């Protein structure tokens, strides 16, 4: 049976190339292009983005969330993906008004898309503690200078190897990591795991960091300089992209970082060690990570010390700091061993009062 609904004055509807309409629970994307209307479902086949809020590219409606395309009249996907279809609707014009038959929707068809390898089941391979070092210092790749935070991180990783850990080192400075493009700000559900950029850009290397955190590593040492009283900019570039991990907790109820232990190395020519550590610990705590007792080592010569050469010399030669970098590994190692051994966190978590998840 037909179910014709009045959408309003044709003259008014013509003013917009693309608009979203909601009738009851049905969302429509109504387009007007080259003198003709098209009406398709406004719900994208990907993760439900609002097609009617997107834009037209030729004859295709482009989803505003991750840019999938559907023909504005037939609802078919773009060339090569024609069978990935959103419903299209019959319509007619009568007395200068546009009517849609809500019961005429064609069938939605979603083509299977191979899941991203990062979404595989999280299963820890047997073996000893695996430690990942992440250097966030910024350098000239061709003419690198001495970095205090890198030096201490290397001390930690070398010591971890002596203890029998498998180790990996990521230097963010040498990786092609795009900045977060803020999909979360369009809608919490538009922020996917892995990040939309990882899924769309094969040259982006954030995938390696996700893989280390979610699948490979047990323990992590993140080293950072202090810049203007906060962690380095590459650290922030990384953690903004890690929003997609945290978002899985609140949107999808998925806990991706299980039994992961984090420690920090923080060094700066000037101060604010406690502020930097507090901020970084807060971030990793929100991702569900664990910390050993005394989870960071740090060094700063303070506000009035502008002689960086002396700072470099101090760190290079400081027995205490290098011993500290090793004992940080001892604490992390012990904690990670406990977590792995006990497989400590199998219970379900609530979401810390977050409202992004829907109330049941």
280 binds ligand FES (CB under 6 A): no
**E runs forming strands in the chain:** 4-9, 18-23, 26-33, 36-41, 55-57, 60-62, 69-71, 91-94, 97-101, 130-135, 166-171, 219-227, 230-231, 261-268, 296-300
Query: Alpha-carbon distance 119 to 27, whole Å?
Result: 30
CB of 50 to ligand FES, least distance (A): 8
Identify which range of 42-50, 106-114, 313-321, 349-357 contacts ligand FES by CB under 6 A: 42-50
Query: Alpha-carbon distance 329 to 153, whole Å?
Result: 10
User: Of residues 58-97, which lie at the interface with ligand FES (CB under 6 A)?
Assistant: 63, 65-68
CB of 115 to ligand FES, least distance (A): 15
DSSP string, 215-241: II-SEEEEEEEEETTEE-HHHHHHHHH
Backbone angles phi, psi at 8, to 5 degrees: 120, -175
CB of 45 to ligand FES, least distance (A): 7
Query: Alpha-carbon distance 204 to 28, whole Å?
Result: 35
Long-range contacts of 181-186 (CB under 8 A, 24+ apart): 183/65, 183/66, 184/243, 184/247, 186/49, 186/64, 186/65
Closest CA to 328 of 109, 204, 163: 163
User: Of residues 217-256, which lie at the interface with ligand FES (CB under 6 A)?
Assistant: none
Between 66 and 71, name the residue whose CB sits nearer to ligand FES.
Answer: 66
49 binds ligand FES (CB under 6 A): yes
Between 48 and 275, name the residue whose CB sits nearer to ligand FES.
Answer: 48
CB of 51 to ligand FES, least distance (A): 7
43 binds ligand FES (CB under 6 A): no
Closest CA to 315 of 263, 277, 265, 281: 265
CB of 147 to ligand FES, least distance (A): 39
Identify which range of 19-27, 39-47, 135-143, 238-246 contacts ligand FES by CB under 6 A: 39-47
Structure tokens at 119: 């979404």
Q: Quick one: which of 18, 30, 44, 264 contacts ligand FES (CB under 6 A)?
A: 44
Between 65 and 283, name the residue whose CB sits nearer to ligand FES.
Answer: 65
CB of 49 to ligand FES, least distance (A): 3
Closest CA to 138 of 262, 238, 8: 238
Between 64 and 275, name the residue whose CB sits nearer to ligand FES.
Answer: 64
Between 65 and 296, name the residue whose CB sits nearer to ligand FES.
Answer: 65
Between 112 and 164, name the residue whose CB sits nearer to ligand FES.
Answer: 112
CB of 74 to ligand FES, least distance (A): 17
Between 150 and 204, name the residue whose CB sits nearer to ligand FES.
Answer: 204
Between 194 and 292, name the residue whose CB sits nearer to ligand FES.
Answer: 194
Q: Are 157 and 133 in contact (CB under 8 A)?
A: yes
Name every residue whose Cβ is closer than 8 Å to that of residue 329 and which is 6 or more positions away in sequence. 131, 156, 159, 160, 163, 165, 221, 263
CB of 42 to ligand FES, least distance (A): 10
DSSP 50: B
Binding-site ranges for ligand FES (CB under 6 A): 44, 46-49, 63, 65-68
């Amino acid at each position: 049976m037909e179910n014709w609904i009045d959408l309003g004055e044709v003259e008014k509807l013509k003013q917009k190339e693309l608009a979203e309409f909601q009738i009851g629970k049905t969302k429509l994307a109504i387009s007007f292009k080259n003198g003709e209307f098209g009406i398709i479902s406004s719900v994208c086949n990907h993760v439900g983005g609002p097609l009617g809020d997107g834009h037209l590219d030729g004859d295709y409606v482009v989803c505003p969330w991750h840019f999938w395309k559907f023909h504005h009249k037939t609802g078919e996907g773009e060339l090569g993906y024609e069978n990935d279809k959103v419903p299209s609707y019959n319509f007619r014009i009568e007395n200068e008004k546009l009517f849609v038959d809500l019961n005429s929707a064609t069938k939605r068809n979603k083509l299977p898309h191979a899941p991203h390898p990062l979404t595989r089941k999280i299963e820890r391979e047997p073996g000893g503690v695996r430690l990942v070092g992440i250097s966030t210092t910024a350098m000239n790749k061709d003419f690198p200078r001495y970095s205090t935070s890198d030096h201490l991180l290397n001390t930690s990783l070398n010591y971890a190897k002596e203890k029998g850990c498998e180790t990996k080192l990521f230097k963010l400075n040498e990786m092609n990591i795009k900045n977060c493009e803020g999909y979360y700000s369009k809608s919490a559900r538009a922020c996917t795991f892995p990040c939309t950029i990882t899924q769309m850009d094969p040259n982006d290397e954030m995938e390696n960091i996700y893989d280390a955190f979610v699948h490979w590593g047990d323990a992590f040492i993140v080293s950072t300089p202090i810049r203007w009283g906060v962690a380095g900019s590459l650290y922030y570039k990384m953690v903004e992209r890690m929003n997609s991990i945290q978002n899985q907790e609140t949107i999808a109820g998925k806990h991706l970082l299980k039994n992961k232990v984090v420690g920090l190395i923080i060094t700066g020519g000037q101060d604010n060690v406690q502020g930097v550590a507090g901020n970084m610990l807060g971030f990793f705590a929100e991702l569900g990570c664990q910390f050993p007792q005394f989870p960071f080592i740090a060094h700063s010569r303070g506000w009035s010390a502008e002689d960086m050469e002396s700072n470099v010399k101090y760190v290079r030669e400081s027995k205490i700091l290098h011993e500290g970098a090793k004992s940080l590994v001892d604490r992390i190692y012990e904690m990670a061993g406990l977590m792995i051994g006990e497989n400590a966190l199998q219970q379900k978590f609530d979401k810390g009062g977050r409202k992004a998840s829907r109330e049941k």
